Structure 1
Amino acid sequence: MHARWLGVGSLVFLCGALAGEARACATPVSVCDHPGAGAFALIEAGRPAPVVVEPQADPALRYAADDFAADLQRVSGQAAERRTAPGTGMPVIAGVLGHSHLIDTLASQGKLDVSGLAGTWEGYRQSVVERPFPGVPRALVVVGADRRGAVYGLYDLSAKIGVSPWYWFADVPVARRRAVYLTAGTHADQPEVKYRGFFINDEAPALSSWAGKHFGGLNADMYARVFELLLRLKGNTLWPAMWPPHAFHDDDPRNTALADARGVVMGTSHHEPLMRAHDEWHRHTGDGITGGAWDYARNGKHLRAFWRGGLERMMAKGDGRGYESLVTVGMRGDGDEAMAEGTAIPLLQGIVADQRRLIAEVTGRPASETPQVWALYKEVQDYYDHGMTVPDDVTLLFSDDNWGQIRRLPSGHEARAGGFGVYYHFDYVGAPRNYKWINTTQVEKTWQQMDLAWQRGARQLWMVNVGDIKPLEFPLDFFMAQAWRPAAMTPQALAGYPEAFARQSFGPAQARAIGELLTRYAQLAAQRKPELLDADTFPLGKADGEVLDGGAFGARVADWDALMARMQAVRAQVPAAQQSAYFQLVEHPISAFANLYHLYYAVAWNRRLAARGDARANAFADEAEAAYARDAALTARYHALEGGKWDGMMTQQHIGYTSWQQPDVQAMPPVRHVVGVATVPPRFGAPVVDAGGIEAVRYQRAVNRAGLAWQAIAHLGAGEGAMVALPQGRPPTTVADGVRLEYDIDLDAAGDRTAMLTLSPTLDTTGGTTLRVGVSLDDGPVQVLADTLVPAPTQTTTAAQRDWNRAVIENRRVLRAVFPGVAAGKHVLKVWRLDDNVVLERVALQ
């Protein structure tokens, strides 16, 4: 036998399903509804195979085996027998190489090929084995290189037979099947990023309200669901909720033990050192340790004692190794604020040296044997760029700018034993505005940035901030799939992912249509986050005469209305059993976001007309009030789903922002009624907004040189897609290299012209501040345009702050080059690749 390596974790199943049953039946250990030569009957005549895990197996594997047996029952309708020995018949046998008598016996007898598996990180193999034991004609053997490898091998089978990782967290129903066969052979897989996980953050009021109502708090009963989801997504690391008053290890003593028993690596967020939740510093203040100034220079003794307690708790498992953890080192100011810059670098270096001494003392091993991470978040990255040294075995965790643009990545000379990682955001509290309510992430942008990270060598830890988990199901699913096998998440796999996700969630009938809804929703949502909307966000058109011109605002509303109509048409085709999941994953985000646009659009017209004494303002006041009521009704409907299962999860304030911070209480935006009755009801002309120019993907010629090739990334940005030179992560090129795109343009008049390049906002990840792109006309000289964008996520009013604010608010950059005295007629506009990480969405010559 030999191992056959396939795609990206559960993406193997998802995208394989798109190819149809015939292709699936031809690949090793793939799902068929009919038996073939040497196939394993996982479910036959409605009866599932027994599941065998030895009694001495690691608890993580026993938990996963229980879940897998339950999944077999969900699919077949009958309970799957749990065994500790093979017995008779055709069982599923799961174990860890070197820790399972059954697995090791099969390997020693040559019946199970485990070559190359030992020592791999979280690798697994699924093999159909003939006559493995007396009385057993055939078995499906799942072997892991370690405990999580075996766990992933079982959960991968669950995904293959149609149990979505979101079966509980999004109520995705499981289709019943009377027959499931797995083709003969061996399927093998393992991750390419070592630590992969998410951060539950900004969890009040939504997740905390929901957990309080249903579990009594953020306790082990709630986290059991989170751990299962994380592992089903093939993640392994969790940063738990930490907004006051939450502290994972201190809130419920069961949390720590359950995480380890499930096989989850626990960490703490970027500003919580040595396994301590920040809120713990403000608890138990009578113990003589906690409380006081969060200031190492003045209160180092107490801080060291506080951190020692976190490490001692980590080691309390009593096996000499402790609970599996990824320890955060370093320090930020109290409340996740910056430290004093003048003394920060030497102070931080001293703090980390002291923390590592504590790690060595408490664990009884060199600090280098305990996995550690130092998050270079916000100003801490500046310290690193200015010469701050970091111990070689510590993982350096770079961050994005909190809005999806990675700030810094390793360069070729920065190789280190601890490796590098990325902390990314789907949720954020801070300038220029919080975004916490609903999904606003394009997976295409996530792919572009994280593919860049992978190509540049950030491969040790990928961590994403997901707020309350819901309603970020789709982008989280994608992030974890890309983290499992980044090299396999090609642009083609990316393009197929929305449909594949929809197929796993809703089956094949509406998969393409639902995938298109998910994609279009994300495009519209990313253009302006809902917390940034108000009555002044976009301009209205003219209000002269009977017909009102909606202008740019009206065009946005029309886009959302078109999406609503498509969503409702698809909903009518979705079976009743899938309506709850459809509402959570598709209908609610589209309906709620579209309604928000209607609310502010009506407020905008009301204020404009009321200021003129135009009685038509009253109709818009009524519409605004109706939209505000619809928002509350959508929330109530969400909370009533599944008998109130999600009550509390949509309590996040999202209307009425006046600063970066959320309003304390959500309130209806003020509207005015005027005296009189409108003699002419409001009527609109068709809103037309001409974006101008050419979609970047509609080039005439792409010149690929210097080992680079232009690739259209479908749907990235606001239009049809964007152009990226692949592979990413390569050094700058010159005009002489000739890597360029060419666009044919016919001008009807002579004169001065301005070339405009619309880019997705990105940052110079090499440690500089500028990204360059070239533009030329015909055979003329190349003008080098420099996009200087510096993250400044504070409340300052500097030019850099305003520039960055505008970029992240509008989610685009426009660069201009002037060409004087251009003749009428045919021309070629050329865009030249100079620096990496420049993403071209649109070109124009005006």
Structure 2
Amino acid sequence: MTPIRTMLLASAMTLVMPGTALAAADRCDRPVAVCTNPTPAAFRLLAGGRGAQVVVDAGADTAVKDAAQGFTGDLARVGGASAGVVRTSLATGAPAVVIGVLGQSPLIGGLVKAGRIRATDIAGRWEAYRQIVVDRPFPGVPQALIIVGADRRGAVFGTYDLSERIGVSPWSWWADVPVAHRSDLWIAKGDRTDAPRVRYRGIFINDEEPAFGTWARTHFGGINAKMYAHVFDLILRLKGNYLWPAMWGKSIAADDPASMPLADAKGLVLGTSHHEPMTRAQSEWHRAPTPGQTSAWDRQGNRIASPSGAAKDAVIGGKWDYLTNAQNLRAFWRGGIERMMTAGSRGQPMEQLVTVGMRGDGDEPMSEGTATHLLERIVADQRTIIADVTGRPASATPQVWALYKEVQDYYDQGMKVPDDVTLLFSDDNWGQIRRLPTGDRDRSGGYGIYYHFDYVGGPRSYKWLANTQVQKTWQQLDLAYRRGVKQLWVVNVGDVKPMEMPIDFFMKMAWNPDAMTPEALAAYPETWGRALFGPAHGGQIGRIADDYARLAARRKPELVDADSFPLGGLSADRLDGGEFGRMVAAWTALEQRMLAMRDRLRPDQRDAYLQLVEHPVAAMANLYRLYYAVAWNRRLAAADDPRANGFADQAEAAFRRDRDLTEAYHHAHDGKWDGMMLQTKFGYTSWSDPKTDQMPQVKRVSRADGRPTASIGAAAAPASSPTAPTGHYAVAEAGAFVRARGRADLGWRVIPHLGRTDGAIISYPQGRPATTTADGVRADYAMTLKQAGDATLRLYMVPALDTNGGKGLRIGVSIDGAPVQILTMNLKVDGPEWTRAVKDNAFPLEAKFPSLAAGTHRIAIWRIDDNMAVQRLLLFTGAIPPSYLGPDAP
């Protein structure tokens, strides 16, 4: 067991996160706990497989009715009975689950008036709910479980919270997670309340071709309301409330007029992405007014020529340029707000968070030289439209302005933003937040963050498999929350699948960042596994999934090729795999653990396991083996070594195996996910993904008869020669400090698996101002050099950006009490150092120490700036490449 894991094991094992109650279902000492055995005064939810009656008021909101119906179905799935109907009147003599909204439910209102339910503490709170067991609540009703929401979504979340705690995973449809059967369930006496800490919490379906789009067209006939119904349900069951819908060539409003009313009926808040202002999908700008006709994309998501071969900026709406085409743009935007006012399902306007501002057409930068005052004018004009159409002050309509890429630069240069508009900061598309509030934390619009689990752009697009560590997501979002970002969290999830685990984590943390402590984070993978696969194997499955994410995050799969990692030495009788070989060995070992676990699962768990664990592990292991074989093939072929031919065979076999793995995924669960695994991953030569997977070129040397064999695959350069360190070195994991010192309010915390090694340390709590060495927040290490000489201390940092917009992030180092040297990590997005950092998921900082004696030395690292996570320390003499992580790397 690793040192870092040992340090947090005791606290992690005892933590139970919300929504995983059946793993501890017999613990009925908590109010409203789900129990498999009766306790005094407990409410009988399931009796002999049949659920209690579920009751809503006849005039209840559609979202409440929909959630109640979903819960009735969940009871039936758990109990094994046929689904009942939601009642609008109470049947006497039987227990009841009553669901309603405070102030809108006569049934619940009567209990509040009679003092049977306390309501003042949730009244007016955004999406708050109370669950409470009440004895003899109504004439002839012996007992009831009351779920009361402060608003309609509060009632929905209180209902689906219970669904999850009785064993119906939010991923039961989206990942085919089976529901464990229980004939009898009780709800412990008492009451509990909950409410979100982040106001808007949601996902962005993006870069959704060819996978998500093909899947939706295959199974639903398009990106339509039938498909979106499942998306809406997933978000609500995850206690989210917000969606940026699929957008490339698509419009949730225009493609199927039923989609927006359905979202409204279920309680979803719709938005549009960072570059789609005023509720209008970008593709609508390029569509002809004739129903069904488009100019830039067809309804299957394929790019087609503009009318008469016109250029992209000369299509139906004219040029996407406010300086030359403002009148058409204002008319276009007005149409979006008018539609918002009429598309609701309840005789009210749609509940939308309106994106304002403007980027270039197709998510491109604005024209060069765009002045900040033009963007200010655009937003002012948009707010005039909002006020005019709604008949209310613009501030009465929630709005968000995304400070994405160059728009953040305008903000940093002084661009004025109305106080009621939410400022949406962004990461660098690779998981490092670019900017956070430094001033007014109390502005009425608040702040948001736009994060990425998927991206199309440099250094290379990554869309195929999940490769984001929950530990990294936690570190960045915890930092944002501590800095006052509490209005909106939205994450780009690509095709939804296969991002299930990071999405699940993001939404749980968004509900309550305060509850996602470092201890809860350490426990999360195992908690996640138990919630999906049960207590018998779930903990081990969670650890496999966590190890997968750690290995995948070392280098995103689209960035892996034959030159990614150095090979070792080459001799007539031995091939040293080097770092590349160690990477392959790590993936092979994980694959063996994954396969051994698969054989221990029940048949009904196999489909979920394939989607969530088996396929990503097997596919990534196969990708590494393919490129490892290509690397050796090219190196050996360059030396005219016949062993190259065996590696060519291995590479070609791995390429074929990838197709087999894809087909197995597409055939799972009777073909339910056919089309969802179509993103390309082989053959990248630039940031842009190839249209189809390309077999890398392999070469064959002469056969025994002396005849040459042609090369196969796409052309490529030979693999790079091995790179080996010289001199002597000592390695220390950042979490293996001898002693950590801090203040009462600030110290060091170990975050297992953060980064690419065993874990990292951060100063905690996050979000605190800079300190000096006089504050004494330091961690000490003992490192031994076997040879004296001029030495270098290298810190391998988890990549991060200066969210204050300053000159970089600082950390101090010293040896044996000598003066502290200050090191600075100042990564500039899209610059060469940033590119190296995001490729390697590490960035080296170095300090020189001349004439260091042989022997053991006391190394200290000193906290200066926040947001500096140290993964590993390397003390060495001689020369060691910046990418080298130590003898046991990776």
Structure 2: segments with no counterpart, 5+ residues: 1-11, 292-313, 707-722, 877-890
Quote the Cα distance in structure 1 between the aligned partners of 2:544 and 2:327: 56
Are the equivalent residues in 2 in contact too, given 1:266–1:325 (CA < 8 A)? yes
CA 1:227–1:83: 2 relative to 1, 3 Å: same
2:743 maps to which of 683, 705, 722: 705
User: Greater shift after overlay, 82-91 or 25-34?
Assistant: 82-91
Following superposition of structure 1 onto structure 2, how do residues 640-719 of structure 1 map, counting pairs within 5 Å?
640-677=667-704, 693-705=731-743, 707-719=745-757
- Residue 744 (structure 1) aligned with residue 747 (structure 2): no
Q: Counterpart amino acid of 1:378? A: K
CA 1:258–1:678: 2 relative to 1, 3 Å: farther
- Residue 103 (structure 1) aligned with residue 108 (structure 2): yes
1:27 maps to which of 10, 30, 45: 30
CA 1:568–1:376: 2 relative to 1, 3 Å: same
CA 1:15–1:772: 2 relative to 1, 3 Å: farther
Following superposition of structure 1 onto structure 2, how do residues 559-578 of structure 1 map, counting pairs within 5 Å?
559-578=586-605
Following superposition of structure 1 onto structure 2, how do residues 508-587 of structure 1 map, counting pairs within 5 Å?
508-587=535-614
Q: Secondary structure, in 3 states, of the residue corresponding to 2:694?
A: coil
1:590 maps to which of 610, 613, 617: 617
Aligned to 1:637: 664
Aligned to 2:328: 302
Quote the Cα distance in structure 2 between the aligned partners of 1:495 and 1:608: 42
1:606 maps to which of 628, 633, 639: 633
User: Greater shift after overlay, 420-429 or 289-298?
Assistant: 289-298
2:810 maps to which of 772, 778, 794: 772
Are the equivalent residues in 2 in contact too, given 1:523–1:718 (CA < 8 A)? yes
Aligned to 1:836: 866
How big is each residue's C-alpha offset from its partner over 1:212-237, in whole Å with a ceiling of 9 and x where there is no partner? 00000100000000000000000000
Quote the Cα distance in structure 2 between the aligned partners of 1:435 and 1:671: 24
How far off its partner does 1:12 sit? 3.8
Quote the Cα distance in structure 2 between the aligned partners of 1:148 and 1:11: 25
CA 1:16–1:731: 2 relative to 1, 3 Å: farther
Structure 1: segments with no counterpart, 5+ residues: 1-6, 680-686, 793-800
- Residue 384 (structure 1) aligned with residue 411 (structure 2): yes
Aligned to 1:44: 47
Aligned to 1:410: 437
How big is each residue's C-alpha offset from its partner over 1:608-650, in whole Å with a ceiling of 9 and x where there is no partner? 1122222211111111111011000000000001111000000
How far off its partner does 1:81 sit? 4.2
Q: Secondary structure, in 3 states, of the residue corresponding to 1:298?
A: helix
Following superposition of structure 1 onto structure 2, how do residues 254-269 of structure 1 map, counting pairs within 5 Å?
254-269=258-273
Aligned to 1:61: 64
How far off its partner does 1:591 sit? 0.1
Aligned to 1:138: 143
- Residue 434 (structure 1) aligned with residue 461 (structure 2): yes
CA 1:691–1:355: 2 relative to 1, 3 Å: farther
Quote the Cα distance in structure 1 between the aligned partners of 2:730 and 2:614: 32
How far off its partner does 1:719 sit? 2.0
Q: Counterpart amino acid of 1:355? A: Q
How far off its partner does 1:289 sit? 10
Q: Secondary structure, in 3 states, of the residue corresponding to 1:409?
A: coil
Aligned to 1:160: 165
How far off its partner does 1:807 sit? 0.8
Q: Counterpart amino acid of 2:331? A: A
Aligned to 1:488: 515
Aligned to 1:4: none
Q: Secondary structure, in 3 states, of the residue corresponding to 1:127?
A: strand
CA 1:627–1:142: 2 relative to 1, 3 Å: same
Aligned to 1:242: 247
Identity level (%): 58
Quote the Cα distance in structure 1 between the aligned partners of 2:624 and 2:315: 51
Are the equivalent residues in 2 in contact too, given 1:763–1:769 (CA < 8 A)? no
1:312 maps to which of 338, 341, 347: 338
Are the equivalent residues in 2 in contact too, given 1:616–1:678 (CA < 8 A)? no
CA 1:17–1:783: 2 relative to 1, 3 Å: farther
Are the equivalent residues in 1 in contact too, given 2:740–2:779 (CA < 8 A)? yes
How far off its partner does 1:826 sit? 2.8
How far off its partner does 1:534 sit? 1.0
Aligned to 1:75: 78
How far off its partner does 1:251 sit? 0.5
Quote the Cα distance in structure 2 between the aligned partners of 1:325 and 1:532: 37
Q: Secondary structure, in 3 states, of the residue corresponding to 1:187?
A: strand
How far off its partner does 1:512 sit? 1.7
Are the equivalent residues in 2 in contact too, given 1:498–1:516 (CA < 8 A)? yes
How far off its partner does 1:16 sit? 5.2
Quote the Cα distance in structure 2 between the aligned partners of 1:584 and 1:517: 14
Aligned to 2:855: 825
Q: Secondary structure, in 3 states, of the residue corresponding to 1:143?
A: strand
How big is each residue's C-alpha offset from its partner over 1:672-720, in whole Å with a ceiling of 9 and x where there is no partner? 22222599xxxxxxx9999951000000110112620211011111222
Quote the Cα distance in structure 1 between the aligned partners of 2:38 and 2:705: 72
Q: Secondary structure, in 3 states, of the residue corresponding to 2:411?
A: helix
Aligned to 1:395: 422
Q: Counterpart amino acid of 2:111? A: L
Q: Secondary structure, in 3 states, of the residue corresponding to 1:92?
A: strand
Q: Secondary structure, in 3 states, of the residue corresponding to 1:253?
A: coil
- Residue 187 (structure 1) aligned with residue 192 (structure 2): yes
Q: Secondary structure, in 3 states, of the residue corresponding to 1:382?
A: helix
Q: Secondary structure, in 3 states, of the residue corresponding to 1:667?
A: coil
Are the equivalent residues in 1 in contact too, given 2:127–2:149 (CA < 8 A)? yes
Quote the Cα distance in structure 1 between the aligned partners of 2:45 and 2:760: 44
How far off its partner does 1:312 sit? 0.5
Aligned to 1:275: 279
Quote the Cα distance in structure 2 between the aligned partners of 1:521 and 1:691: 29
Aligned to 1:618: 645
How far off its partner does 1:845 sit? 1.6
Quote the Cα distance in structure 2 between the aligned partners of 1:555 and 1:457: 42
How many residues are treated as equivalent by the alignment? Answer: 820
User: Greater shift after overlay, 144-153 or 503-512?
Assistant: 503-512
CA 1:461–1:229: 2 relative to 1, 3 Å: same
Q: Secondary structure, in 3 states, of the residue corresponding to 1:83?
A: coil
Q: Counterpart amino acid of 1:718? A: R
Q: Counterpart amino acid of 1:77? A: G
Quote the Cα distance in structure 2 between the aligned partners of 1:705 and 1:641: 54
User: Greater shift after overlay, 510-519 or 460-469?
Assistant: 510-519
How big is each residue's C-alpha offset from its partner over 1:102-136, in whole Å with a ceiling of 9 and x where there is no partner? 01001101111223111000000100000000111
Are the equivalent residues in 2 in contact too, given 1:753–1:820 (CA < 8 A)? yes
How big is each residue's C-alpha offset from its partner over 1:638-664, in whole Å with a ceiling of 9 and x where there is no partner? 000111100000011111111100001
Q: Secondary structure, in 3 states, of the residue corresponding to 2:872?
A: strand
CA 1:678–1:133: 2 relative to 1, 3 Å: farther
- Residue 225 (structure 1) aligned with residue 252 (structure 2): no
Aligned to 2:256: 252
Aligned to 1:336: 363
Are the equivalent residues in 2 in contact too, given 1:14–1:501 (CA < 8 A)? no
- Residue 460 (structure 1) aligned with residue 460 (structure 2): no
Aligned to 2:215: 210
Quote the Cα distance in structure 1 between the aligned partners of 2:506 and 2:660: 31
Q: Secondary structure, in 3 states, of the residue corresponding to 2:701?
A: coil
CA 1:396–1:761: 2 relative to 1, 3 Å: same
How far off its partner does 1:370 sit? 0.2
Quote the Cα distance in structure 2 between the aligned partners of 1:11 and 1:147: 28
CA 1:836–1:253: 2 relative to 1, 3 Å: same
TM-score between both structures, scaled by the size of structure 2 = 0.90
Are the equivalent residues in 1 in contact too, given 2:200–2:489 (CA < 8 A)? yes
1:815 maps to which of 845, 853, 868: 845
Quote the Cα distance in structure 1 between the aligned partners of 2:142 and 2:36: 20
Q: Secondary structure, in 3 states, of the residue corresponding to 1:548?
A: coil
Quote the Cα distance in structure 2 between the aligned partners of 1:777 and 1:817: 10
Quote the Cα distance in structure 1 between the aligned partners of 2:342 and 2:257: 11
Q: Counterpart amino acid of 2:259? A: N
Quote the Cα distance in structure 1 between the aligned partners of 2:875 and 2:44: 63
How far off its partner does 1:341 sit? 4.2
Q: Counterpart amino acid of 1:114? A: A
